[in-house]
Chains A and B, each alone.
Chain A
Amino acid sequence: MKKLFQSVKKNCFDSSGNTLELEKTIEKEIKQLREEIDKKRKEIRDIKQLVNKEIDRDFFPPLEELSEKELEPYFDKYLSLLEASLDPHPDEKSLISHRKILGKPIILVKRILLRMTGVYTYTSLFLEKQKNFNQQSFALYRALLGRLRKNTEKIKHIEERIIDCEVNLMTLSKKLKDLSNHQFTAKDE
């Protein structure tokens, strides 16, 4: 490919008197095309449209790989998400319809159906049981997280004490070594 290009370049640039004119024509053609495309490019605001493809993706963090610092915000985030969905009973407010005109009557029918099948049937007994389970699980999570945080703090303190011990040990051993060297020197003398 490279050789081919070099030969083309040589033929085109060196051979005839018309080369310069041809070069100018090509340059002008490319310039004109570039200006046209640039104008269209600038009219487009969205980068997705500019490159004709989706550029954004969803990423899910690999929780098991995260460091303690990275994990910390997730505890609070997921605890609050759990807390928000403790009660499994259907919520009337969540009933929606996408129809513009028929929407309101449809929602009304849905509400009636929900009350009939939800509140006044056995399902509510199961949902109540599920709610209790959710609340207890959530309480357990919070308690475990509390313990985890306390233990992390304890480990930190223990590590600090180990560091002090290491320093003291090193200092003592160094002093002991110096002392014994000093004793040997004194004996020799």
Chain B
Amino acid sequence: MCLRNNERFLNIIKNLKQNPDTAIPALSREIERISSDQGFQAAYNCLLQAEVILSIRKPTLAIYDHAFHFIGGAQKYGLSMISVLQDQFDITIITNKEVKHRDFMNWYNLDLSKCHIIVIKLPYFEEKNVIHLDPACVSKKEENPFHPISRESGNYDIFVNNSMNEMVYPLSNISVLVCHFPERRPRTYFYADQYTYVVCNSQYTTEWIEKKWKFSPHQHIYPPVDMEAGEEKILKKKNILSVARFEVEGTKRQLEMIEIFLQLKHEFPQIMKDWTFILAGGSNPDNPYLLKLRNIIDENSSVSIELKVNCPITELKSLYRESTLFWHLCGLTHEDPAEIEHFGMTIVEAMQNKMVPIVYDGGGPREIIDSGVNGFRVKSKAEVMDYTLQLLQDEKLIQRLSENAQTKSQTFSRQKFEERMRTFFGKLLNIYNPTR
């Protein structure tokens, strides 16, 4: 990995304007040599690089995600990344399903109007008529269904694969794999180690890339979090908030959180008086897990628990602003590393809004929360209850931790993310085009 320039070819480009009579035929010969030694793609890539070096055109960048048609943290990461690169590059967004610029604006408040969108439908998944394209269901017996994307990647100077999908073989001069978590181990059609650079979102992901894929990623850039509260002072309500997608498998542990809240209400009615538990998050229609949660809440209608499913961003912002405590227990009683929070963007969103987070002690949240300083990390249900009661009985503790939480949240701001991305891609361009 890491970009290696073809020095011989670069020398010819360098001579093109000084000695055109000898350099132009040399260029043709060199391209012919590269074609026969390394294949036509390598020759094509050299010509693409020549165009950028000679300022014939702007460098091109394509970003691919097989889930761009869904709202998600990983997708927000990739699109926020290109939103800061729009002036430097001619950018193309590659998707497998229809999605519009206005969707990105509505979902993430990102203006990507300078980017082109191209939809490449994959026959393998089209025949199955599925909305979610799952690379895990592809076996060795089948032809790699993602090869149309691999082929498309060869048309750009830089190709960024933002999806949790290692089955796209990169053909571009520079390729970047943004890894949000190495869900699968190397198996059929594994090409993650073929990318020139691998970028990841947390130390936790770095550790697991090293364990599962046996190499170290090149760059670690935390996701952008931009849920900052405005300047106006808002009176906090007695709310405990949870913001997480309602996964069908229940990996975000909403059921356990409801059980904890019910137990707290039952055992400590005086302390818990007036406190409400609000669970917000996205869900697909006909989600059996969500139905189960609704039933439990209905059975305990005297306890104030509210579900906010797919609520608009304005409502979510108000919930963040007005709530006091934040629970995030993804990973509790799980052993599989993929089922533990890889980073935890909603935790940082809560911290930006001066909430005190109580989170599961594992995965990405360990990098966010310093237990006892800006929140609490817990290993068990009992610890969640214990820390919650401590906080509810000590207003000064809430005040101190919430202020610290807001300070710590600045580490993960959008501004920091943008700076890091600009620097990273700036370095890539400097290597790619030594005349910059």
Contact = CB atoms under 8 A, between A and B. Distances in A.
Contacts of A169: 382
A29 B185 contact: no
A55 B191 contact: yes
Instruction: Give the interface residue-count category, chain A.
Output: 35 or more
Contacts of A5: 14, 53, 434-435
A167 B20 contact: no
A59 B190 contact: yes
Nearest to B266: A171
Contacts of B28: 29, 33
Given A26-B54, A174-B268, A50 B14 contact: no
Interface string B381-394: 11101100100000
Contacts of A67: 335-337
B17 A11 contact: yes
Contacts of A163: 333, 380-382
B31 interface: yes
B381 A166 contact: yes
Interface string A47-87: 10111110111010110011111100000000000000000
Interface stretch (B32-40, B89-97, B351-359, B420-428): B32-40
A40 to B, nearest CB: 5
A166 B185 contact: no
A171 B147 CA distance: 57
B27 interface: yes
Interface string B137-155: 0000000000100110010
B37 A33 contact: no
A159 interface: yes
Nearest to B337: A67
Contacts of A170: 382-383, 385-386
A166 B18 CA distance: 79
Interface residues of B, number: 58
A167 B151 contact: no
Interface string A107-125: 0000000000000000000
A163 B10 CA distance: 65
B185 A70 contact: yes
B272 interface: no
Nearest to B191: A55
Interface string A159-189: 1000100110111001100000000000000
Contacts of B18: 8, 11-12
A169 B151 CA distance: 60
Given A11-B17, A169-B382, A61 B335 contact: no
A50 B16 contact: no
28 contacts: A2-B435, A2-B436, A5-B14, A5-B434, A12-B18, A22-B17, A25-B24, A29-B24, A30-B47, A33-B27, A33-B28, A34-B47, A37-B31, A37-B43, A37-B44, A41-B154, A44-B40, A47-B147, A50-B39, A51-B39, A51-B171, A56-B189, A69-B335, A70-B185, A167-B382, A167-B385, A170-B382, A174-B389
